[in-house]
Amino acid sequence: MWFDKNYTKFRQWSYSWRAKYFQPILKLLADWKITPNQITTFRLIFVLPIAYYFYLGNLWGVLIFYIIFWILDLFDGSLARYLNISNDKGGFLDSLVDHFMYSALILGFIYLSAADSILLAYNILIQIIVNLLANVKNWEKGESDWFIKIRSLVPYFKNLAHLFLLLYVFGINFLNPAFVILNLWMTIASFYYFFIIQKQA
C-alpha cells in the first residue's frame, strides 16, 4: 500500500531529525547509563495515572500523562540508534508497550461511554490483527536476537485514532463515524496483507 512507502520516508526523516536535535539529551542519557529498554519499560508506569484520571472522568489529566508517555517514546529508539544497539528484542518491547497503552486508552474511552463500545473494542482487536499481518508480510529472513522482528510499519491507523480522540477531548465528538471508517479501513488492510502473504508463501 502506498501508505507504507510514505510512512517509511517519514520515519527516515524523523530518525534523522531526532539524531540531530536530540543529541545533547541522548548523550546525557548515555552518560547516566540509562538504556533504551529501561525507558521503554518505565513508560508503562503512566498507565496508572491515566487509568486514575479516566476513573475521575478528567480527560485533561489523561491527555497530559499520555503526552508524556509519547514524548518518552521518542527517546528509547533514538537512544538505541545513538548507542548503536538497536535490536529486535527492543523493537518488540517498544511495540508491546505501545499496544498495551493504546488498548488501555481505548478501554478508558469505553469506560466513559464516549462512543459505541463494540466499535472501540473491535478497534483494539483489529489493531492487533493488522499489525501481526503486516509483520508477517514484512518479515525479513536472517538472524535475530528475538523470536520476532517488528516490521509492521502501519502506525498511521493509530495516529488517526489519536487525532479523533484528541478532538473529543476538545469537545469535538464524531468518534462513532470516525471509528467506523477507521475499523473498515484496517479490516480491508488486514485482508490486503493476508492475500499478499498468501502470494509470498
The per-residue pLDDT for range 8-29, each reduced to its tens digit, is 777 788 889 988 899 999 999 9
Q: Residue 97 is which amino acid? A: V
Q: What is the mean pLDDT of residues 93-116?
A: 95
Distance CA 165, CA 159 (A): 10
CA distance 118 to 110: 9
**pLDDT of residue 7 exceeding 90:** no
Q: Which three cell numbers stand for residue 37?
A: 529498554
pLDDT of residue 11: 76
- Separation between Cα atoms, residue 168 and residue 164, nearest integer Å: 6
| Whether pLDDT at 162 is above 70 | yes
Angle at 188 between CA 186 and CA 115, to 5 degrees: 40
Mean per-residue pLDDT over the chain, rounded = 89
Q: Looking at residue 86, what is its pLDDT?
A: 86
Q: How many domains does the chain have?
A: 1
DSSP 31-97: HTT--HHHHHHHGGGGHHHHHHHHHHT-HHHHHHHHHHHHHHHHHHHHHHHHTT---HHHHHHHHHH
Please say if the pLDDT value at position 168 is more than 90: yes
Instruction: Output the domain CATH number for residue 160.
Output: 1.20.120.1760
d(CA 173, CA 153) in angstroms, rounded, equals 28
- Per-residue pLDDT of 29-50, as tens digits, reads 999 999 999 999 999 999 999 9
Average pLDDT of span 146-171: 80
User: Domain range for residue 166?
Assistant: 2-200
| Burial environment of residue 113 by CB neighbours within 10 A (0 to 12, 13 to 18, 19 or more) | exposed
State the number of CA atoms in the 13 A half-sphere of 66 facing the CB.
Answer: 25
Which residues, at least 6 apart from 126, have a Cβ–Cβ distance to it below 8 Å? 183, 186, 187, 190
What's the CA gap between 65 and 46, in Å, rounded? Answer: 6
Residue-level pLDDT at 14: 82
